[in-house]
Amino acid sequence: MNDKGKLSASMMCAGLDKLFYFLTEFKEVNLEYLHIDIMDGLFVPNFALGTDYVKSLRRITDISFDYHFLVNNPLEKMTWFDIREGDQVSFHWENNDKIQECIDYLTRLGARKFIAINPETDFHELDEYLSQIDGILIMHTPPGFAGKKLIPKTINKVENLRNHLDSLKLDLEIESDGNITIEHAEILYKKGSNIFVAGTSSLFMNSEKPIKEIISEKRKVIGW
């Protein structure tokens, strides 16, 4: 897979004081996704983003949602949110004994199904589910907080995963999340990722540069 890459803006990193500015700019450049991190303080040592916030966000934008459930018992907690047909939803493989049930639930909703894995998780753990999902989200940093450094070995993990999918003749998407700078996005795109979560490392870190300009710069390195 080497089509144009897609961007997913991390709303956890978007300051509320500039939210309408961000959403307006995203809409003008046809941003592909808003990345919605859901954290319960148990699976990771942080809380984000709540049901009321996500419900309000849905009312003020029609940009597609890219949910990322970093929670214990994702099967239950996904039901707390208004997941719609066409939304993209990632749930974690780790600490999850209901992988098939999660896949079945999202299938009934008409959502795009992704399984997320932490930096230390072997992607081969997902082999039995690959034919039932749309993609895999790879964490390049320990999950929970923004601003951490990319773990170098996760770059080759993307390449190895893409080669593995190609060997199985599966055209799944690979989403990269965690310290995705413009430089890292360029490398990971060449290795096989095609969806990139943009947060403090490359989208919201420079208040002096227009968001549209930052997005344009990032898109240039992911096949645009």
Catalytic residues: 37, 177
Inter-CA distances, 57 with 19, 54, 82, Å: 10, 5, 11
Residue located via tokens 């199904």: 113
219 three-class SS: helix
Residue 79: exposed, middle, or buried by beta-carbon count in 10 A (0-12, 13-18, 19+)? Answer: exposed
Contact 15, 46 (CB under 8 A): no
Whole-angstrom distance, CA of residue 87 vs CA of residue 146: 23
Strand 33-40, strand 65-70: pairing: parallel
Chain centroid to Cα 29, Å, comes to 19
